[in-house]
Amino acid sequence: MLTSTLLAAATAPLEWNPSIGIIMIVANVIAITFGKFTIQYPSSEPALPSANLFGGFGLPGLLATTAFGHILGAGIILGLHYLGRF
What are the residue boundaries of the structural domains of the chain, listed by start? 20-83
pTM of the model: 0.76
Q: How far apart are CA 43 and CA 57, in angstroms?
A: 5
Is residue 11 predicted with pLDDT exceeding 80? no
pLDDT in tens, 19-63: 999 999 999 999 988 988 888 887 778 877 776 676 778 888 888
Q: Cα dist. 58→26, 43, 44, 55, 63 in Å?
A: 21, 4, 5, 9, 9
